[in-house]
Structure 1
């Protein structure tokens, strides 16, 4: 077997991920010139260019993308395993990065993780709150939170909350000026409050179902947001009909500040799942976070991993 210099491979992976020799050198704690020489040496030994260099950026070539895809996660696994060995010696600690939507963070993640973080002060959780469908492997997140039908098949998905229902609602003042919609199709004639999706840049499609019949409606309106609290505020201000998980509207519906419509077109559906790569070796900190979020937590002794 021909021995390879693993440092050169690690240097290449870091530069490809950071998109910059300067940032990669800072992450690795080496000089930029030493880093450049190491990557150039690797390319020379392989007789193929791995990185395209310009004055402003660095990006992998097709060969570089293939190599990054093949070995990048292996360095992550080695790092995670070494970190887990340290945790076996010490108390649970470390950073867990989760990408999620705003509603999931407020309704499930923060309430469920607050007791865990009080019990284990050396565990840290970073929430990347957005509505983009992030690539958790490429962006180096430990896990993400989505609805089950949007999760890739090669991921482990764990239910973390109850079933949800959507709700369409507007203020009483709005319905003094406009008739109540009787079917989802009537929404086309209404001023609806839209949400912009960060990933594709398109507008959120409103989905409805009744007696097995499914309808998707592309609504229109004067205002568009990319966060749910702003949508609720706009609905309260009489700017149109909004469509969000019903608990976003709950206190306003109970107190009459909002009026719900099309209730029979909004059945319950499976709620949020935490998902993570199937090839990942969970750290103890991640295992504790996962267990705290499970819809039905499992007994977990310190030193155990997550299933």
Structure 2
């Protein structure tokens, strides 16, 4: 089930991912850090697995003394390093830089342990569904400190339009159809696990034998704004973003299923018959304007190491 699309990214694609996906929202990191602290976690070392160009690593690293990011893609890691190099300020709370490395989730997590580095918090945003999960859980169980936390999250929908927008639910449904139907023949098992909101993600107690140190009692699942239906109040939990239909389109073009569809249909890619082009055209027709307010739904899984 190992992911190959992002692993083979060029530098240009990694840059497009960096800008198209955008930085994750502080509300999410606030929930993670509050849960981590309230359940006995410390803020020494952060490890971001499947970190990409560091979209999640950078905003949460400021809460930790040290931060590491591991990804299988050389281009993603090179982009993350370049962003850190150009940053005016330090990225961790001690003023240090995030240390990025090309590597495997399980092997390189254990290498940190062998080097005497114990991890307080392991995160994986939009990535765990691509892991060899039995190996990941074994490595996490060995490398994570007692009282440490594993936080895994994903966004089931490509994008959600704010209910104040005309035909918002219908426009959101079109983007969901893009990954559920239009590009369905290019779906990988990891895509399905993501689309099913991690209900079928392999848990540490599902591994044979179960990974010691993680209990069902210490597990917590949280969801917000599924398919654009606001969970509380008038705003997306992860923030309302004033953006454009074009920028939403650029974001959905980073979907691995859209990219595999284009690789399988090169004669149609970026033409009027491109599935993503057709989807965003219909979105424009429904909303009737270029400026939009968009957000993300989110599923977060939290695990504690005893």
- TM-score w.r.t. length of structure 1: 0.26
**Bigger radius of gyration among the two:** 1
